[in-house]
Structure 1
Amino acid sequence: MRTYQHNLFRSLLVGVGFTLVSTFSYAQSGWTKEKGEGFYQLSFNRFSSSDYYTLEGELLNTNAFTQNSLVFYGEYGVTDRFTLIANLPLQVWNGFSTTETVNGLGDLRLEFKHAILKKYLPLAISVAPEIPIGRANNFAQSTQNDFESINLPSGDGEFNVWTTLSTSFALPNAPLYGSIFGSYNYRTQYEDISFSDQIALGVELGYQIAGKVWVNGRLQGLSSVDDVRVVTDFVRGDGTEFTSYSFGASVPVYKNFHLSFNYRNYADFLFSRKNLYSAGTFSLGVFYQSKRKTNE
Structure 2
Amino acid sequence: MPHFNKFGTGCFFTALPLAFCLGLSFLLPSEAAAQSGWTKGKKEGFYQLSFQSMNSNDYYTLGGELLETNQFSQQSLVFYGEYGVTDRFTIIANLPLQTWNGFETTERVSGLGDLRLEFKHSILKKYLPLSISIAPELPIGKANNFAKSTINDFEQINLPSGDGEFNVWSTLASSFALPNAPFYGTIFASYNMRTQYDGVQFSDQFALGAEIGYHIAQKVWVNARLNALATVGGDLLIATDFVRGDGTEYTSFSFGASVPVYKKINLSINYRNFNDLIFDRKNLYSAGVVSVGVYYERK
TM-score after normalising by structure 2: 0.89
Structure 1 stretches of 5 or more lacking a match?
A: 1-18, 292-296
Corresponding residue for residue 223 of structure 1: 230
**One-letter identity of the residue aligned with 1:63:** N
SS at structure 1 position matched to 2:94: strand
Question: Does residue 276 of structure 1 match 2:284?
Answer: yes
Q: Distance in 2 between matches of 1:27 and 1:281?
A: 17
Shift of 1:27: 2.1
> In the alignment, residue 262 of structure 2 is paired with which amino acid?
Y
Whole-angstrom distance in 2 between the partners of 1:228 and 1:160:
19
CA distance in 1, matches of 2:55, 2:90: 34
Show the counterpart of 2:190: 183
One of 147, 151, 160 as aligned partner of 2:158: 151
Distance 1:24 1:68 in 2: 15
Letter of the structure 1 residue corresponding to residue 80 of structure 2: Y
Give the distance between the partners of 1:26 and 1:289, measured in 2 at CA.
15
What's the C-alpha RMSD, in Å, of the aligned pairs?
1.1
Query: In structure 2, what is the equivalent of residue 90 of structure 1?
Result: 97
1:1-296 matches, cutoff 5 A? 21-226=28-233, 227-229=235-237, 230=239, 232-234=241-243, 236-291=244-299
* Cα deviation 1:10-68 (Å, max 9, x = unaligned): xxxxxxxxx76523532200000000000000000001100000011000000111100
Aligned-partner SS, 1:202: strand
| Identity %, equivalent residues | 71
Q: Which amino acid aligns with 1:111?
A: E
Deviations 1:171-204, CA, capped at 9 Å, x for gaps: 0000100000000000000011111000000000
**Residues 207-239 of structure 1, C-alpha deviation per residue, up to 9 Å, x if partnerless?**
0111110000000000000241236244x1110
Partners of 1:25 and 1:228 lie apart in 2 by 24
Quick one: structure 1 residues 162 and 241, their matched pair in 2 at CA, closer, same or farther if it must change by over 3 Å?
A: same
- What SS class does the counterpart of residue 22 from structure 1 fall into? coil
One-letter amino acid matched to 2:54: F
Q: In the aligned structure 1, how far is the partner of 2:197 from the partner of 2:72? A: 23
Distance apart, 1:287 and its partner CA? 0.1
CA distance in 1 between counterparts of 2:183 and 2:39 reads: 18
4+ residue stretches of structure 1 with deviation over 6 A? Answer: none
Task: Give the SS at the match of 1:204.
Answer: strand
